[in-house]
Homo-oligomer: A and B are copies of this chain.
């Protein structure tokens, strides 16, 4: 497996806040980044913006082109588009490490709550749709605002990396570690992804109560 700094990282949904924030950090760390979006033109616009902020190598493609071009692919898709987009990319994503960071949440008058996912979690849905890929789950709790602001030189966050493939989770942990301040920590098997995704609802509730961009640190590790 190539050294993580030599990898090309694809970001499906890289025009959204979470994908863009991570793309900025990876590009700033010297990785090649390919932004994916439904329309190549929108991806290219976002890529230019990210390249400028990060002073890095960033290109844009439609989602299929992004998946085909990348060594490792982050799925930073809206939950509504998660199943359809990934299901259509089974061939392009075969054999690759896929990182699912999607949090299936709903909002009502009482605030955020976790949605029921028939497969158990977004990550398990990805694994079911992509049987030829090495599906992991990570980067659920990143603050897009903090990531996009490179003046924040120390991002105070542990990234829980879940998956059943040890080599894959190790690569994803390294992708977390390239962000200054961030630690990638193995967080369990994929079947335990639901609660990590759903915890984002609690962090949003904390953000509202404490006017914060709350993240998680694991102690004693």
Task: Name A residues whose Cβ lies closer than 8 Å to a Cβ of B.
Answer: 110-114, 156-157, 160, 162, 185-189, 191-192, 194-199, 201-203, 205-206, 209-210, 212-221
Contact = CB atoms under 8 A, between A and B. Distances in A.
B205 A186 contact: yes
B213 A216 contact: no
Contact of A205 (B110, B189, B209): B189
A138 to B, nearest CB: 12
Contacts of A206: 185-188, 218, 221
Given A195-B199, A201-B192, A210 B215 contact: no
Contact of A195 (B156, B198, B219, B221): B198
11 contacts: A185-B206, A187-B206, A188-B201, A188-B202, A188-B205, A188-B206, A192-B198, A194-B195, A199-B199, A203-B218, A216-B218
B160 A202 contact: yes
Contact of A199 (B111, B112, B186, B196): B196
Contacts of A205: 186-189, 192
A205 B187 CA distance: 7
When all copies of this chain in the complex are counted, the total is 2
Nearest to A217: B217
* 7 A-B pairs with least C-beta separation: A188-B205, A195-B198, A195-B195, A217-B217, A215-B219, A156-B219, A188-B202
A220 B216 contact: no
Most buried by B among A111, A112, A187: A187
A191 B114 CA distance: 9
Contact of A202 (B112, B195, B201): B195
Most buried by B among A114, A199, A217: A199
Contacts of A202: 160, 162, 187-188, 192, 195-196
A216 B214 contact: no
A93 to B, nearest CB: 25
Most buried by B among A157, A196, A220: A220
Nearest to A193: B202
A102 to B, nearest CB: 15
